[in-house]
Structure 1
Amino acid sequence: MKQTINLKMVLTTLVFFSAIAILVSGSFTQASPSYIQAKTGSCQFEKDWITNPDNPPDEVARSDTDGTSNFCDFYEFSWQWFLHLMAPSADDKNLRNFEIASRYPVLKATGEDSCSNKTGKPIFFIRTSKDKDDSTPFVLPERVHQAGSRAVIYDINENIVLYSVQFSEGLCDLTNADLKSDTAMLPSDTLELKMAWRILDDTSGNSIDDKSNYYWINADIVATDNKGYPVKDDKGEFVKGQRTLGLIGMHLVKSTPDHPEMIWATFEHKSNTTECVLDFQRFDHSYSFLTDKGKFCLDAPTHPHCESTFNNKDPDNNSLINGGAFFSGDEGVPLKHATTNICRVFPNATADMDYKESENNKAIDTLNEGAGAALSSLAPDNPMAVLKNYFNVGSLWLSNPKKEIGYHVPETPAGTDNQRGSLQLANSVMETTDQGTIEIDKNGQLVTSTEGVVNCFVCHGYNPTNTASTKSGSKLSHIIDDIVSGKTRDAR
C-alpha cells in the first residue's frame, strides 16, 4: 500500500516503501563461495552481509598481524553498515532499518523536538549552504549542511535535489550542559545519516529515471510555475502532486569505542555522474547531473564555449561544471532550474600521491566489485537487489584517535598526517563545489588539484576527550546542538 506525504514549501515528509524479502534458492553443481573476492587485493565481500544483515559490527576488525585495523577492515565495516541500514527491518518488513524512527529519529528544525518524532517520516530540505562552523540558526529550508558556497543543484530534468538527515537515538540523551562541558562525549555507537534524493520523472523515457534502479519513495511535491517557484491556490495553500523520489547519495558516519572520531563513509548512485578526467566513454552513458554539453566540455575543455566552465561560481553562467546555482532576493530558491553539470574530481576520493594511495584504491575497488557481483546475483524482486546500483566513494578515519584535529576552513586545510582512507573524501551530490579543483593545463588538458579541498575533518573538529562539544574549534557533530535545543523530554 502506497501512501501520500505532505510537503510544506520545500519541506517534505515521507513514508518509505519496501518489499518483503524473497529468498530464492536453486540447485548448483558445486557449492557457491561465501564471499566474492576481486582479482586484486585482500579485501573480501561476504555474501552473508546481504543475507544476514541484522548484526553489523560494533567495532572495526583488527586483521593485521600486529593486531591493528587495515584499510580493508574499515571499508568492510562501511559496507556492512550500509547494507544493514538499507535492509528490510526485522521489526517491520515494510520498512528498511534506517526508517525505524525509534532507532534513527529524523532531524527537524531548530526549536522542534526531533527526539519525539516516532513516525518514521523523514523531512526533506533544500541544500543551500554548508556552514563551516555550524553557528547559524537552523531555519528551513535554508540550511542542510551539505553544500559549499551556498550552491543549489538541479538534476538532468531541472528538478532541485532534496536532502534528509537522521541520527542514532542515543544522541537524544545528551543535554545542554553536555554541549558546554569540557569532558562530555558522544555515545560510542553514534550514527548520523545524510541522504540526497532526486525526483524521478517517469515521462522522460530516460533510463536514469527508471525507479526500479533506485531505492525510491513516493511523496507529495509542491507544484511550480513557469519560473520554477512554488504555486499556491486561492486559499493560500501550496498546490501539490505526487512524485517519486530516488536515493542518490548517503553520508554514513559511525563511531565505535576504538574510533570516537567516527568512520566517515559516503555512497552514491552509479548514474549520478562520471569522473572529470580520463573517461573516454562518457557519451555512451546517461547521467543525472551531466548534460551533453557538459560531456563535450569535459572532452574539449579548450573549446571557446567551455573555457570558463570549470569551478566557476558565477551565478549567471548556467553551463558550469561543479559550480552549482546561486539565488538571492525575495523569491527565494526555485524548485526548477537549469541542470547542474557535475563531475567527480577524484575517483575513490583519492588524489595521486595521497598516503597509501594504492592500498586505498585497491580496497575500495575490490569491495565495490564484490558488492556489485553479489547484489547482481540476487533475484530482481529481492529488496536488496536494487543496491547493486550504489557504490562506496570512499571512507575516512584517523590512524591515532588519541590525537586532536582542530577546526579549519577551506583556506587552511587540516593536516592529513593522522588521516587515513580517502583523503579527498567528498560526495558529488553533497559537496559538489568542494571536491577540489579542475583546471586546463598548458597542453589544453584537464588536470585535478587538491587546492582548496575540503574533506570531512576540515569542517568537523575532533577533540578525543570532548566529542560532544559544540564550542568553535571542536565540533565533531554539526547537528547535536539542533537535536538538544529542540528536546522537550529533557528540560535540563
Structure 2
Amino acid sequence: MLPSKFTIPAWHRMQVLGVVFGSAILASFTPSVNAYSSPECDVEAPWFGPTVPNPKEGPDSPFAFVNGKDNSTNCDFHQWSWNKFLYLTQAAKAPGELFMFGPGFWQVDNALKPYFEPWNDLLNPTGLMPSKHLILEDFNQAGFGDPIIYSKYSGLPVHFSIHVNDTYMQSAMSNPKADPNVEFSVGSVELKVAWMDVTDLQEVYKGVDLSQQFYIRKAIYKSDNKYSDPTDVAMIGMHVVGVVENHPEFIWATFEHALTAPDYYVSGDQFKKSNAYLEQDKIVSSKDDYLLYRGDTQVQNAHLSYPASEQYTNSFRLYQYGVPNGFPYTNSADNKLGASVEQQQRDEKNFNNIAQLNSAVKNKLLQSNSVWSNYFYAGSVWLSTQDYNFSDGISGDIVGSNANKSLRGSLAAANMTMETYTQTFSSTTGPQPQIKAENCFACHGISKGDSTMKVSHIYNNYLKWIKVAE
C-alpha cells in the first residue's frame, strides 16, 4: 500500500516554500492471485484486465523466505518486472493518462526535488502543487564524458525524466543521513524514462502514424530556468526499479521500444550460445528502421563508446535481453573473463524465461491493439540475498576473481536509451576483444559499510543537497 501522506523535515519544507508533501490514497486494487509458481514462465490474466493490480511484493509475495528458505525463482523476478510495467502504464485519470503520472507519484530532478507549479483556487491558499506537466531538462547519460544520445539523424538530445512513488519518497525523507541499518521500504519505486522529440521521430519514420507505434504525450523542455512551449515527445525506454521483500538492493528492470537498436549476439526465441568474438567488419543489421542504428553499419563504424565529436547516434545492443554471450565470456576456461558453467546455465534459463514472457505479453497486448505491444522487456538484474551480507557492499563484477557470485538475472542488463555507451568499459576493438560485460550494479553498487539506500543515485544526490542546505 502507498501511504496517503507523510511529513517532511522542517528544513525541506522551507525549501519548497512551506509545502507539506501529500497525496490522495491510490485507488484500492484487488491483488492478483499470483504465486508465480507455474513450471513455465507465463503471463497472468489480471495483467490485461481493466485494472492491472500491483504485483505482490511483501510477506505474501514469492520473495518472502519460508522457514528461512528462499523459494523464489528466476521467473518470479521477470513476472514482477512485466506486471509492474503494465501496472504503471495502465490508463488513468492523470496527466499523460498513465497511472505512473497520477496521485502517489512524483516527478523529481536528479537530486530528488519535485517539480512544482503555482496554484490558487477557492478551496486552497496560494502555494505550490506538483506540476502536471512533464518537464524535461536532463539529457546526460551515465558514463565518462556525460554521454548524449540523439536519433541516428541527430536533432534534439534524448531527454530523461525521473519519477518516484510515495513509499520511496517517505523512505528518503525519513533517512537524511543514510544510516547503514536503514533500507528503502518494500514497495519503493524509482522510474527513469527516456523521451525523444516527435519531430525527430518523424525524420526516421516519415509518413508513419507514430501514435500507433509509440506512447506520446506533451512535455516542456527546461533549460537555464527557461521553459519551452509544450511539445510532443515519445517514450523510447524506461527503467523500472523497485524494492520487494528481502531485496533492498532493488530489482533493476528495463524496457525499450522494439525499434531502438539491433542486437549483435541475437538468439531469437531460444538461447543459442555463441563462441564467437565481436567481429569488427560484421554488419549488425541490414535493416534501417532503428532509431539509434543506421542499417548496414559495420561494428567498427558504429559506437559502443561515446563519440563526443558526433551529434547523431549509431550504436547497437551487445547482448539480447542483457544476457552475456560470446567470447571471452562463454569460455569457462578463462578464469579472468570467462563465466563458470553453472553461471552460463543460469544465463540460458534466464534468457528463455524472458523470451517466453515477452512473446506471451506481446500476443496479449496485440489483441487489444495496445501501444505497449511495441515495447519489450530488456531484462533485469538483482541479487540472491539469502545469507548475503550487505555490510560488505555490492559489486557488479560478473567474472574474474572479484566476481559477485550472488548476482542474478540479466548479468549484462543495459538499456540502449540510457546506457548506450556503458554496456562495457573494456576495449571492443581487435580480432579478439577482451570484452567485460557490465550491468546496473557496476554504477549502482555500494562500498563496504554503506547503506543499501545508496544504490540510488538520486538519493545520493539528495544527501549532498541536504548537506549544502544545512
Q: TM-score, normalised by structure 2?
A: 0.69
Residues 62/256 of structure 1: CA separation in 2 closer, same or farther (3 Å cut)? closer
What CA deviation, in whole Å up to 9, does each residue of 1:100-135 have, x standing for no partner?
1x41211136595569752343432333252xxxxx
Query: 1:110 & 1:67 partners in 2: Cα distance?
Result: 35
What CA deviation, in whole Å up to 9, does each residue of 1:183-205 have, x standing for no partner?
22222221110110111237535
Is 2:260 aligned against 1:262?
A: no
Residues 192/428 of structure 1: CA separation in 2 closer, same or farther (3 Å cut)? same
Residue 389 of structure 2 is matched in structure 1 by: 403
What's the offset of the Cα at 1:461? 2.6
State which of 300, 303, 307 in structure 2 corresponds to 1:321: 303
Query: 2:135 & 2:434 partners in 1: Cα distance?
Result: 36
Residue 193 of structure 1 is matched in structure 2 by: 191
Q: Are the counterparts in 2 of residues 105 and 117 from structure 1 also a CA contact under 8 Å?
A: no
What CA deviation, in whole Å up to 9, does each residue of 1:284-330 have, x standing for no partner?
450101123xx3314xxxxxxxx4x3xxxxxxxxxx42333427xxx
Q: Pairwise mapping of residues 164-203 of structure 1 onto structure 2 (< 5 A)?
A: 164-173=161-170, 174-175=172-173, 178-201=176-199
Q: Are the counterparts in 2 of residues 152 and 325 from structure 1 also a CA contact under 8 Å?
A: no
SS of corresponding position for 1:165? strand
Is 2:96 aligned against 1:81?
A: no
Residues 393/208 of structure 1: CA separation in 2 closer, same or farther (3 Å cut)? farther
| Count of aligned residue pairs for this structure pair | 379
What's the offset of the Cα at 1:215? 0.8
What CA deviation, in whole Å up to 9, does each residue of 1:155-211 have, x standing for no partner?
033121000001122333334864242322222221110110111237535377723
Q: Pairwise mapping of residues 25-36 of structure 1 onto structure 2 (< 5 A)?
A: none
Residues 458/209 of structure 1: CA separation in 2 closer, same or farther (3 Å cut)? farther
* Greater RCO, CA 8 A, separation 6+: 1
- Percent identical pairs in the alignment equals 22
Residue 124 of structure 2 is matched in structure 1 by: none
Q: Pairwise mapping of residues 127-146 of structure 1 onto structure 2 (< 5 A)?
A: 127-130=139-142
State which of 367, 374, 379 in structure 2 corresponds to 1:389: 374
Is 2:440 aligned against 1:456?
A: yes
Residue 225 of structure 1 is matched in structure 2 by: none
Is 2:459 aligned against 1:480?
A: yes
Query: 2:228 & 2:463 partners in 1: Cα distance?
Result: 32
Residues 438/207 of structure 1: CA separation in 2 closer, same or farther (3 Å cut)? farther
Residues 481/281 of structure 1: CA separation in 2 closer, same or farther (3 Å cut)? closer
Is the helix fraction higher in 1 or 2?
2
What CA deviation, in whole Å up to 9, does each residue of 1:355-395 have, x standing for no partner?
211100110100000011110111x3xxxx00001111111
Residue 286 of structure 1 is matched in structure 2 by: 289
Residues 449/190 of structure 1: CA separation in 2 closer, same or farther (3 Å cut)? farther
What's the offset of the Cα at 1:94? 6.2
What's the offset of the Cα at 1:149? 3.9
Residue 137 of structure 1 is matched in structure 2 by: none
Residue 101 of structure 2 is matched in structure 1 by: 99
Q: Pairwise mapping of residues 328-407 of structure 1 onto structure 2 (< 5 A)?
A: 338-352=311-325, 353=330, 355=343, 356-378=346-368, 380=369, 385-400=370-385, 402-404=388-390, 406=393
Residues 98/465 of structure 1: CA separation in 2 closer, same or farther (3 Å cut)? farther
Query: 2:405 & 2:168 partners in 1: Cα distance?
Result: 30
What CA deviation, in whole Å up to 9, does each residue of 1:2-32 have, x standing for no partner?
xxxxxxxxxxxxxxxxxxxxxxxxxxxxxxx
Query: 2:227 & 2:382 partners in 1: Cα distance?
Result: 45
Query: 2:373 & 2:305 partners in 1: Cα distance?
Result: 29
Residues 409/149 of structure 1: CA separation in 2 closer, same or farther (3 Å cut)? farther
Residues 126/359 of structure 1: CA separation in 2 closer, same or farther (3 Å cut)? same
State which of 139, 150, 154 in structure 1 corresponds to 2:146: 150
Structure 2 unmatched ranges of 5 or more: 1-32, 117-127, 268-282, 331-338
Q: Are the counterparts in 2 of residues 82 and 252 from structure 1 also a CA contact under 8 Å?
A: yes
Q: Are the counterparts in 2 of residues 403 and 463 from structure 1 also a CA contact under 8 Å?
A: no
Q: Are the counterparts in 2 of residues 200 and 211 from structure 1 also a CA contact under 8 Å?
A: no
SS of corresponding position for 1:255? strand
Residues 111/175 of structure 1: CA separation in 2 closer, same or farther (3 Å cut)? closer
Q: TM-score, normalised by structure 1?
A: 0.66
Deviates more, 1:151-160 or 1:196-205: 196-205
Residues 88/339 of structure 1: CA separation in 2 closer, same or farther (3 Å cut)? same
Residues 375/111 of structure 1: CA separation in 2 closer, same or farther (3 Å cut)? closer
Residues 114/449 of structure 1: CA separation in 2 closer, same or farther (3 Å cut)? farther
Deviates more, 1:210-219 or 1:65-74: 65-74
SS of corresponding position for 1:126? coil
State which of 422, 425, 447 in structure 2 corresponds to 1:434: 422
Q: Pairwise mapping of residues 246-261 of structure 1 onto structure 2 (< 5 A)?
A: 246-261=234-249
SS of corresponding position for 1:246? strand
